[in-house]
Structure 1
Amino acid sequence: MSAVLDEIDRRLLRLLREEAGQSAGALGRRVGLSQPATWRRIRRLEEAGVIRGRRLKLDPAALGFGVTVFLGVKIGLRGRVKLEDFERAVTAIPEVQLVEHVLGLYDYRLRVVARDLSDFERVLRRRIMTLPGIGDVEANVLLTEERRPGPL
């Protein structure tokens, strides 16, 4: 379903992107709408699929996960291993936060968190490298991360 967005919708989305937990009343005051009108717009955006949920952002380091690694993964046994089998197995690993099927040098890109580098090595050797169809793997350790808002 495609939604037609006006400038107020776009302003609401920008504000929600900054802080998803804001009340409809607080948002409405910032965009010049009443609380019920703001709530109706947010509800319409959710129903149209523009807003696909609200997430809690946790700090991995504060939770004891000091290392984030991006893995490029090639499936090595194409034709003998179904991609669904790899996806099912890799999403069952708790340290794997994100699984992206991509086009390019690698078939998948994974975001993996670990307590430290030796913990990451354990996850890599015991869990990831034993997955069905695993081929070449390239690791990139995250040094810093800066999030920039998208073009809304």
Structure 2
Amino acid sequence: MKLDEIDRAVLRALCANADQSTSRLGEKLGLSQPATWRRVRRLQDAGIIAGRRLQLDQEKLGFGVTVFLGVKLATKGRVSLEDFERALTAIPEIQTVDHVLGLYDYRLRIVARDLADFERILRRRIMTLPGVGDVEANVLLSEERLPGPI
């Protein structure tokens, strides 16, 4: 699907506020509500808009620490990557699992109540998984969300 400037403007506006109505979105872009709705629907049908997500304030919910954990598998041949990834999905504090190239095989984003809670998750949940070798933790100090290249 080829995107024009109006499609890109729709995407930028929805990235800023995915909860706005098509009427409000149309007002901002100088389009009628039906025309805006058709644009959004076409972008959804093409799979460009894959969904909308609710963003929660983790700190207000009691999760004050975010850690990026690099995990290197010790025995890649013995443990299938699918089994390892499936085991990670059973740990609710793990927000994302990225299979990456480089020094580590996986990059995990983990939320915890505090550092002691993270240590518990690391020792009791992650380090006990079969195949886990070296790990490296990086604590998030601050995060700036930058708009993507749309």
TM range, normalised to the smaller chain? Answer: over 0.9
What is the CA–CA distance in structure 1 between the aligned matches of 2:144 and 2:110, rounded to whole Å? 17
Aligned to 2:83: 85
Aligned to 1:33: 31
Answering whether residue 102 of structure 2 is matched by residue 104 of structure 1, we say: yes
Moved over 2 A (4+): none
Could you report, residue by residue, the CA deviation over 1:80-126 in whole angstroms, capped at 9, with x for unpaired residues?
11000100000110000000011111110000000000000000000
Aligned to 2:45: 47
Displacement of 1:78 in angstroms is 1.1
Q: Which amino acid aligns with 2:109?
A: R
What is the CA–CA distance in structure 1 between the aligned matches of 2:23 and 2:64, rounded to whole Å? 38
Contact 1:67 1:114 in 2 (8 A): yes
Aligned to 1:67: 65
Unpaired runs of 5+ residues, structure 2, are: none
Aligned to 1:56: 54
What is the CA–CA distance in structure 2 between the aligned matches of 1:132 and 1:111, rounded to whole Å? 19
Displacement of 1:15 in angstroms is 0.4
Question: TM-score, normalised to structure 1's length?
Answer: 0.97
Displacement of 1:131 in angstroms is 1.1
What is the CA–CA distance in structure 1 between the aligned matches of 2:7 and 2:73, rounded to whole Å? 42
Q: How many residues in Structure 1 have an aligned counterpart in Structure 2? A: 150
What SS does the aligned partner of 2:28 have?
helix
Aligned to 1:8: 6
Question: TM-score, normalised to structure 2's length?
Answer: 0.98
